[in-house]
């Protein structure tokens, strides 16, 4: 799978050298998002939070762009209690924050611009437990995964080099194995994340 992705990326980058096209043009932008992360009984963290995206791209033909889109969101958390001993009750807060680093291609059809790509996902995870006012345990770590990216932008010109861009992304994380430890199982999320927001983009 990874080799196919690399081959497609190289083909897109080589496109301007094998086809008649306008000179490459660089563009950049940013988007403010709401981010909805799915969850399930086995994947307990999710919900909706705020986030943002940056965008750096090169238009390699009149209808194709190749770009890098890093994004972030607020943290997801939940609280629960359990009894480590019959006379003790532990209060636990489990939390996760994800960063997505996406390489993607953009196809332009007038103001409609479908996007497809692959994202490296970096997660920061933690669990903190107390019994009364005493810390029972405090764990943190990180994990990594890959996600497919699909989306649609609507580029509305407001000046010769500036557009306002309503935008949506769907990120589908590849299914992993069974969590190796309680920290990972307590901070797991569902497979899908939806980002929807409005941004601006300028061409140089």
Q: How many CB atoms lie within 10 A of CB 22?
A: 10
Q: At 61, is the secondary structure helix, strand, or coil?
A: strand
Kindly report, residue by residue over 41-84, the tens digit of the pLDDT.
889 999 999 999 999 999 999 999 999 999 999 999 999 999 99
Residue 63's nearest CA partner among 114, 17, 116, 28 is 114
CA 77 to chain centre: 17
Percent of the chain with pLDDT over 90: 81
Distance CA 72, CA 121 (A): 10
Tell me the backbone φ, ψ of residue 188, rounded to 5 degrees: -75, 150
Fold adopted by 2-77+98-122+144-203? Porin (2.40.160)
Among 23-27, 118-122, 151-155, which stretch is predicted with the lowest mean pLDDT? 23-27
For the residues of 150-171, what is the DSSP string, one character each? Answer: EEEEE-EEEETTEEEEEEEEEE
Average pLDDT over residues 102-106: 98
Q: What global pTM score does this model have? A: 0.84
Domain segments of the chain: what residues? 2-77+98-122+144-203
Tell me the backbone φ, ψ of residue 7, rounded to 5 degrees: -65, -45
């Amino acid at each position: 799978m990874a080799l196919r992705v690399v081959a497609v990326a190289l083909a897109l980058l080589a496109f301007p050298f094998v086809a008649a096209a306008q000179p490459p043009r660089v563009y950049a932008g940013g988007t403010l998002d709401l981010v909805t992360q799915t969850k399930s009984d086995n994947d307990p963290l999710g919900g909706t939070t705020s986030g943002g995206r940056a965008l750096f791209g090169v238009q390699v033909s009149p209808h194709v762009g190749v770009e890098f889109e890093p994004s972030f969101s607020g943290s997801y958390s939940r609280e629960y209690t359990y009894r480590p001993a019959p006379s003790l009750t532990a209060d636990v807060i489990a939390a996760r924050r994800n960063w997505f680093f996406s390489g993607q291609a953009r196809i332009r059809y007038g103001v409609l611009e479908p996007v497809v790509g692959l994202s490296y996902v970096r997660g920061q995870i933690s669990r903190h437990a107390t019994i009364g006012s005493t810390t029972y345990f405090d764990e943190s770590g990180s994990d990594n995964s890959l996600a497919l990216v699909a989306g649609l932008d609507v580029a509305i010109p407001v000046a010769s080099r500036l557009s306002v861009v309503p935008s949506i992304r769907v990120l589908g994380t590849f299914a992993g194995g069974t969590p190796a430890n309680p920290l990972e199982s307590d901070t797991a999320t569902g497979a899908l994340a939806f980002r929807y927001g409005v941004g601006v983009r300028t061409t140089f």
